[in-house]
Structures are given as structure tokens and as C-alpha cells.
Amino acid sequence: MTELLSIILAAGEGTRMRSAMPKVLHRVGGLPVVSHVIRSAKAAGSRIAVVVGPGHEEVEAAVTRFEADAQISRQMERLGTAHAVQQARAAYEDAPGHVLVLYADTPLVTGATIAAIVDRLDGGADMVVVGFTPDNPTGYGRLLTKNGRVTAIREHKDASEDERRIGLCNSGIIGFRGETLRAVIDRIGNSNAKGEYYLTDAVELAAGDGKRVDFIEADASELVGVDNRIKLAEAEATFQAFKRREVMEAGATLRDPGSVWFSWDTEIGRDVTIFPNVVFGPGVKVADNVEIRAFCDIEDTTIGDGARIGPFVRLRGGAELGPDVHLGNFVEVKNSKIGAGTKAGHLSYLGDAEIGTETNIGAGTITCNYDGVNKDKTLIGDNVFIGSNASLVAPVSIGDGAYTASGSVITQDVPADALALGRARQENKLGYAPRLKARALAKKAAKGK
């Protein structure tokens, strides 16, 4: 298999984003756009080199978090795309195989497109340019072709009127045989309208050397460049459409696909039913036969086979739900493990807890896990019955088979099979209610004066 290196250009400031954050760190499907490009390149078996701008330590950190072996270079002056590629010389100067140049702001480029480039290079092409046909080509460079080969790429500002009528546009993505890149990169000049060193000029130089320059055409939807908030929204919409289709083709039912939002890494099993207005953040794995009802917000969570979730459930912070767990309306689970068959039907917060199997969590139950400084654990065993409106003050442990009475504040461990009552004794004062009401009315009347 031919060795592959991908140089990802990520030095742009993205001023049109109107953001203090570099544009390549804005997210699509919960993942920075630069990481999407790395992911596609890695899927093709590529080594990764990334060129960043000065002061972009955040970008460097994001890249290395996602791909620890990425080779990072800095472009201290923004003198064009060819100049940016030159900054990665240490990565490509001894590269024995193919070199791809990708752009960090095109998050939807697919592994299939990258594989198609590699196939052409393996088949004898010296360079491969990725083109596309947009609805409106204004502003894009045009591919000039002859007999099925690319002879040049003309930037829009430098194109003649006849060249501007060409519909086949340049995506910016180019694949090279390593020796071809090394032969042309330092010969690229800057005699153009912007005075920049365009990587696109490599095509004309290579063609002049008698090299074979091919092109492939990709769908315009995967080549959206994210350089403003509108394009970011377009990329997000396209990503979601792809992901919804993927999930449904894999065997899940989406009752209203357009209202369900996925993250880049969401994993959904077979025979899962997802109701409208469900949002999946990063880190969610859903097993088979799960039902997720409307208006749930789920991230960093695993959900076991046959669970029933929602409506209006919030899951986060490493929640782990076992098989056949049922969580009803307005239940939040954070950093907690819930065992098979356990139910929390209504209005509960379960944070920093470990709950066993076949346990019932009554309506209004709260694990009081935070004392203002520290977060402590609540341990609840198997076959426990937690009465409604219970406050479980961590750290506390409730043994197997135990009961807690409704309205209790539990501050001490409860042994197995015990009944715990943690509430004040009720006292009835006969005839006292009218006096309280009269006092309240008098207070209200005094305020009105």
C-alpha cells in the first residue's frame, strides 16, 4: 500500500466568522471542523501534517488532542496556499508516496473522495485535482481541461470572461505524487492579482513538464468551505442530513428526522425509535431496542438494550444506563450508573450515584451530591424502593431491598431490608387554618394602603 501524507492547511484567521475563536475550531456535529478533515484523512490511512497560523496555540492543542502524532508547522506570514504548503517541508521532503493537500475549513470532505484521489495516483496520475460544479461559480477558480486532463487552474480574479463561463470549479484539494510536489512547489511565483503564491499554479507547471494531471469531480455538498456563520450552518445542515440517513439505513426509526440532531460520534443500534426534538451531544452510544421519546438532551452517555427514555430527559457526564432502564419525564442523570430494570419515572435528579437493578426511584427524588465544595457518591442497591420526594444526602449508602419513606431526608446509611424514615413528626392544630388565612389577608391589605 502506497504511503500517504495529508497536509491540512489551517492557518486562516476566518475574520468573516466574526469570532475570537479561529474558524477551524468552530464545530459541526459537535467536532471542530479541522478534526473532521483529520478524521477523513485518517480513514484513508494517511499520516497527518497541519499548517497553523501564528498565535494559534488553541488550534495546535485541538489537533494534537484528536491526532497525537500530527506534525504541526506554522505559517508566520500568509502569502498564499503554496507558501503554506512549503511550511510543511519537513513532512513532505522525504515522503516516499503520495501527498494530499486538504483544507481545514471543509469538514464534509469524505474518505471516499480521498480514496478516489489515491486510486488515480496509484493508476499513474502525477497530480489529481478535485473539482465540483456549484450552482453559482462566481468567486471560485476554474479548471481548464483538454482531452480529459487539467492544463491549468485559473483563479476567478485572474480569469478571462470565457474562462469564467466554465462551470467546473476548483475545490482546492490536490493530490500529488511526492516527487511531483517536490519538483514544482518551489517554482511557483506570485505574479497574479493578489500577489500570492497559489498552489493551483502547480498544475500548469506540472503539465508543462509533461506530467499527467487528472481531475475527479466530487459533490458540491461535501466541499462546503466554512468561512462565515452562514456556511457553518450549511455545513451543519448537510452533516445532519448525512447522519440521519446513516442512522435510518442502519435500522433505527426517526419519527421526525429533521428535528433529531446527532453528534459526529453518535452510535445508534437497531430497532431504536427516536421521537421528535431529540439532541445527541458527543459520546453517546445507544444499544438495540431503545425508545427515546421527545425533547431529550443526551451526551456522554451509554444506554443499554431495551431502555425507555423520556420525554424531557437530560443525560450527561458519563451516565451509564443498563438494559431495560426506564427514565420518565423531567429526569436528569449525571455521572451515574443505573442497573438493569431500574425505574425513575418523574421529576428526579440522580447525580454521582450508583444504583442497582430493579430499583424504584420515586417522583421528586434528589441525590444531594454537592456540598458547595465537594461532590460525593450515593450508593443504592438492588430492589430498593425510594419513596417520593426523598433527598439522599451524599455520601450515603442504601442497602439491597431497603425502603425509604416518602418525604424523607436520608443522611445516614440504610441497612439492607430496612425502612428509613427521615422526616419530622406530623402535628395537626385543629381550627388553626382560618387564623392563618386571616393573618395573610391582613398582611395583604396593609400592603395595599
Q: Which residues are catalytic, by number? A: 346
Are 170 and 131 a contacting pair, CB within 8 Å? yes
Nearest to 215 by CA among 157, 147, 139: 147
Q: What is the bridge-based pairing of β-strands 301-303 and 127-132?
A: unpaired
Q: Contact 292/277 with Cβ under 8 angstroms?
A: no
CA distances from 54 to 75, 76, 77, 292 (A): 7, 5, 8, 45
* Residue 156: strand, helix, or coil: helix
CA angle 65, 287, 268 (to 5 degrees): 60
Secondary structure of residue 296 in the 3-state scheme? coil
- 210: amino acid identity, one letter: G
CA-to-CA distance for 125 and 213, rounded, in angstroms? Answer: 6
Instruction: Choose among 418, 379, 421: nearest CA to 401.
Output: 418
| CA–CA separation, 82 and 84 (whole Å) | 5
Distance, in Å, from the CA atom of 379 to the CA atom of 397, rounded to the nearest integer, reads: 5
Half-sphere exposure in the Cβ direction for 409 (13 Å, CA): 4
Q: How far apart are CA 88 and CA 100, in angstroms?
A: 12
Separation of alpha carbons 164 and 137, rounded Å: 8
Neighbours of 218 (CB within 10 A): 20
